[in-house]
Amino acid sequence: MTILGPIIGAAVKRREQIFRVATASGATHLAASLSDRWFDLPGSRAHRSTGIGVDGTSHAVLLSTGAHLVIGLACALGPDPIGQIQEADIEAMPARFDDAAASSARDLLMRSLETEVAVKALARAVERGVPSDTIVWIDGSLHADLSHMAGGPTNVRWGDGVERAGSLMSRTRELFITAASTDIWLIAIAKTQRASVLASALQAQTGAPGEFPEVNGRLDVRSGGPTGEYEADVPRPGDGEVLASMGAGWSWPLILDASQFPVTTALAPDMLRGCPAIVSCYLRPHEADLPLRVDVPATQLGFDDLLFGPHGHPLSGRLARWVPDPAMMVPVIETVMASYGGFAAHNGPLFAVDKLVRLPRRDLETRIMPIIANVAGIGVGVLGVDRGRRRFIQD
């Protein structure tokens, strides 16, 4: 218990900073603006009966040689005739790659596997004749995943990373186009709100970009007074800060395209050619629960907006656009609410598949890695876990 004293002292010392960040005081004026674009929750209604949950997991293990072993798996789970579809893969990275590269490999591997099982699930639904009654639930944000893919080949510098990133974009394009042509719904549910697309749209609505100019992606604000919302040159508020004070309900949807991607490689416009833009909104299913981000392809709501312009360039304008009629999103919100399982299960299909793909770190290091070494004909010592980690997994 001796460590508790210094922690309490640090908490007292940083009290004002903690309070300022935790209460999201920097976004109060945007929250007031959001109240005009915040709607009461509709009733729950399952518009389709066949739900397929898609989720994955991955771990990057630092070996005793300094190399990284990245293991990932993904699963698509639905009722008969869909059943269960599984994929797994491994990446081995030499010791010269650092932890950041291993983390990038881990994310890219998991996304690749998730996209693969999602495409196969779509194909099975079409084959069994149930596309118009099918929803594919994706864990995460569609737009955020596309943003990572579009910048991936620039940031990935290990092994076959560039090839995998290109394959991922190609399969993602197939996923979107197949869903649109077969009337299958894609609904993505993200549990974090680190993006600032909603905050940026609200700033534009209130005239904030003119009043608070941006310098290198940061708001250049010098309020100086005790009631000022921002200090000098602070980052733009995240969407989670804006949503913190909102009750149960959902936000006016936004249309997001490649203009919001921070980095876009030359490969992305071609590999993601014809992909629809993404319609995104936030939903707080219960006033005591946390907000969820809901993303769907624009084609699902009848829009023909694309990620990239006809010549492969991002569409004009940096900010997202408000959907003309938010009522178009109501069937999606009703469907999300019908699959809501409370605080412990934000989405029924995703909760079920998450239980299948969980890969505890201890099981991976004590059981899975020896099996990998055995079937690959590698000595167990070669796949030994780094000493800094090994001392925590001894029986």
Tens of pLDDT along 83-122? 999 999 998 888 888 888 888 888 889 999 999 999 999 9
- How much is the pLDDT for 354? 94
Q: Note whether 229 and 223 are within 8 A (CB).
A: yes
Report the distance separating Cα 238 and Cα 219, nearest Å. Answer: 12
Report the distance separating Cα 255 and Cα 321, nearest Å. Answer: 5
Lowest mean pLDDT among 24-38, 206-220, 352-366: 206-220
Hey, which bits of the chain come out as E strands?
A: 38-39, 50-62, 68-78, 83-93, 134-139, 185-190, 214-215, 218-219, 234-235, 249-251, 254-256, 278-284, 292-297, 321-322
Helix H or strand E encompassing 100: helix 99-127
Cα angle, residue 111 at apex, residues 109 and 117 outer, rounded to 5°: 105
- How much is the pLDDT for 377? 86
On the question of pLDDT at 217 being above 50, the answer is no
Report which DSSP code applies to 72.
E
Digit-coded pLDDT (tens) for 261-313? 887 888 889 889 899 999 999 999 999 999 999 999 999 999 999 999 876 66
Query: With bands split at pLDDT 50, 70 and 90, how would you rate the model's confidence at 205?
Result: confident
Closest CA to 249 of 210, 288, 287, 204: 287
Report the distance separating Cα 252 and Cα 38, nearest Å. Answer: 6
Report the distance separating Cα 250 and Cα 17, nearest Å. Answer: 30
Report the distance separating Cα 73 and Cα 342, nearest Å. Answer: 26
On the question of pLDDT at 2 being above 80, the answer is no
Closest CA to 73 of 36, 34, 117, 128: 117
Query: With bands split at pLDDT 50, 70 and 90, how would you rate the model's confidence at 380?
Result: low
Give the list of residues 6+ apart from residue 73 with CB closer than 8 angstroms, or none: 56, 57, 58, 86, 87, 88, 89, 113, 357, 359
The residue count of the chain comes to 395
On the question of pLDDT at 160 being above 70, the answer is no
Which has the higher per-residue pLDDT, 199 or 227?
A: 199
User: Residue 8: which region, alpha, beta or left (left: phi > 0; alpha: psi -120 to 50)?
Assistant: alpha
Q: How far is CA 154 from CA 72, 128, 157, in A?
A: 22, 40, 8
The residue type found at 193 is Q
- How much is the pLDDT for 390? 60
Cα angle, residue 151 at apex, residues 146 and 153 outer, rounded to 5°: 115
Lowest mean pLDDT among 44-48, 195-199, 224-228, 319-323: 224-228
The residue type found at 317 is G
On the question of pLDDT at 360 being above 60, the answer is yes
Give the list of residues 6+ apart from residue 149 with CB closer than 8 angstroms, or none: 111, 165, 168, 169, 172, 268, 272
Mean pLDDT in residue range 239-261? 91
Sign of CA dihedral 215, 217, 218, 219: positive
Give the list of residues 6+ apart from residue 291 with CB closer than 8 angstroms, or none: 193, 240, 243, 246, 282, 283, 284
Find residue 384's DSSP bridge partners.
Answer: none
Q: Note whether 75 and 379 are within 8 A (CB).
A: no
Report which DSSP code applies to 366.
I
Mean of all residue pLDDT scores within the chain? 84
Q: What percent of the chain has pLDDT over 90?
A: 46
Give the list of residues 6+ apart from residue 106 with CB closer than 8 angstroms, or none: 58, 59, 60, 70, 72
Find residue 60's DSSP bridge partners.
Answer: 70
Report the distance separating Cα 110 and Cα 358, nearest Å. Answer: 12
On the question of pLDDT at 206 being above 90, the answer is no
β-strand 292-297 against 38-39: which pairing, if any? unpaired
Token duo for residue 74: 């993904």
Report the distance separating Cα 12 and Cα 19, nearest Å. Answer: 11
Report the distance separating Cα 95 and Cα 93, nearest Å. Answer: 7
